[in-house]
Every structure is written in C-alpha cells, then in structure tokens.
Amino acid sequence: MTGENHAMKAIAIDGPSGAGKSTLARSIAKTLGYLYVDTGAIYRTIGCFTRENRIDPKDEAAVLAALPRLRLEITYGADGLQHMLLRGRDVTEEIRLPEMSLCASAVSAHPGVRAYLLEMQRRLARENNVVMDGRDIGTVVLPEADVKVFLTASPEERARRRMLELEERGTPQSFETILREIGERDWNDTHRAAAPLRQAEDAVALDTTGLSFRQSEEALLRIIKERIPA
C-alpha cells in the first residue's frame, strides 16, 4: 500500500464460510459509516459466469481466458448495498444460490483469478473507509489494514446458521448436506496454494460459537474501537 491510503481506514474480516462475516461486517459498516465490501461476491460472480457458460471452474486456463469478457463491476445502490454486475446484468441475487458456492470456491483457487481481482479490491480501500470481508484480506489484499479480525465458529454452528439462512431464502437443504459442503469448502479454502485461508499474525481471533448476533457485534465493535479510537 502506498502513502495515499493512510487517510482511509480499513477493517479486514477474514474467516471460513458461514462464520457470520457478511452479516456482521455489513452491520458494523453501517454503524461506522464505512463502505462494506463483500469480496466473496466477486468470486461468486465469476463462478456464476463459468456455470452459465459451461466452463469448467477448475480449468484455470479456460477461466482466465474468459475474465476479460465478464465486465465485472461492483456498484453501490441508493440503499448503500453492494451489487455485482456481470456484463451489465445485476447478478446480486443469483450468486447466492447454493450451487454457486462450489463454483466460486473452485475459481478462487486460481492464482491468475486472484491477481486479476487484487487491484479492484485495493482501489475500493484507497478511495473509501471500508469493512472488507473475505479469506485473504488481512494477509494479502490489505496487509496494512487498521484492524484485522479472524472470525470463526464451529462447523456445526456454521451449518446450523446456514440452514436457517437457506430456509429463509426458500432454498432449504438438509443439515448433513450443508455440513458436508462446509467441510469441503473449508478444505478447499485452506489447502489451495494461492492465498489460502489463514489467520494473519496481527489479526484478532473472534470465535462466535455460542454468541448471539448482538454479542458478536458488540465484541467486534470493541475490538475495532480499541484500534480506531472515535
């Protein structure tokens, strides 16, 4: 990061899928008046494109060759919420479909894909105060973030939360299926060679197993306030 970044504040929140990152990050971004950047949504948008165009998400060369055609854009609506555009089409809703998760995980393993997205993510942090969540924000994307939090919860707790979320969305799945997919994604995300999920040395770990949303939010805001005094 260069000197011009220093005026802006960055809060990096990393952790495995289903740990509550996005709900918590969105909420604290609102409280603090920062921009919330959901980086998983970017990988999901690429995954969505591969699925729609019958490209094997595990085929790095094919995915890389397709990237310039995607016209990937992140925009923010009047509601302040992040929208993902794919060739001008708003795909914010469909990238949440359960079948997009494994495609997103597969495309995110390619170093070329990650390199392609790096500048897009860094520019958002240069131009805005951000709460950015993902897997490699504190380690790779924003290594000089003002606050780094590594958010975790037990796999069973994460599967339980995800099951409720899918039920609310009207796309229910069984606990066993969800738990198996969480295990699979955890393995993919932590074992890939390119920017694997790991806790940055200077990150604060927050385990939300057994904590309510409010309690998790309070704990997170406490960590932030210690490092970014109001």
How many Cβ atoms sit within 10 Å of the Cβ of residue 172?
A: 14
Among 13, 28, 39, 70, binds ligand DC (CB under 6 A): 39
If the CB atoms of residues 69 and 191 are measured against ligand DC, the closer one turns out to be 191
| Spatial separation of the C-alpha atoms in residues 89 and 123, rounded to whole Å | 22
Confirm if 35 and 79 have CB atoms less than 8 A apart: no
Among 12, 17, 151, 161, binds ligand DC (CB under 6 A): 17
From 48-56, 61-69, 77-85, 132-140, span contacting ligand DC (CB under 6 A): 132-140
The answer to whether 216 contacts ligand DC (rule: CB under 6 A) is: no
CA angle 86, 91, 94 (to 5 degrees): 140
Task: Please tell me whether residue 109 adopts helix, strand or coil conformation.
Answer: coil
| Spatial separation of the C-alpha atoms in residues 83 and 45, rounded to whole Å | 10
Among 134, 147, 181, 224, binds ligand DC (CB under 6 A): 134
Amino acid at 46: I
The answer to whether 162 contacts ligand DC (rule: CB under 6 A) is: no
The dihedral through the CA atoms of 222, 223, 224, 228 has a sign that is: positive
Find the binding residues for ligand DC in span 83-102 (CB under 6 A): 101
* Beta strands 82-86 and 72-76, pairing class: antiparallel
Query: Least CB distance from residue 151 to ligand DC, whole Å?
Result: 11
Query: Least CB distance from residue 26 to ligand DC, whole Å?
Result: 12
If the CB atoms of residues 102 and 221 are measured against ligand DC, the closer one turns out to be 102
Number of residues forming the site for ligand DC (CB under 6 A): 15
Strands (E), the chain: 10-14, 35-38, 72-76, 82-86, 89-90, 130-134, 147-152, 204-207
The answer to whether 152 contacts ligand DC (rule: CB under 6 A) is: no
The answer to whether 82 contacts ligand DC (rule: CB under 6 A) is: no
How many Cβ atoms sit within 10 Å of the Cβ of residue 192?
A: 18
The answer to whether 43 contacts ligand DC (rule: CB under 6 A) is: yes
The answer to whether 105 contacts ligand DC (rule: CB under 6 A) is: yes
If the CB atoms of residues 105 and 216 are measured against ligand DC, the closer one turns out to be 105
Residues that bind ligand DC (CB under 6 A): 17, 39-40, 43-44, 101, 104-105, 108, 134-137, 185, 189
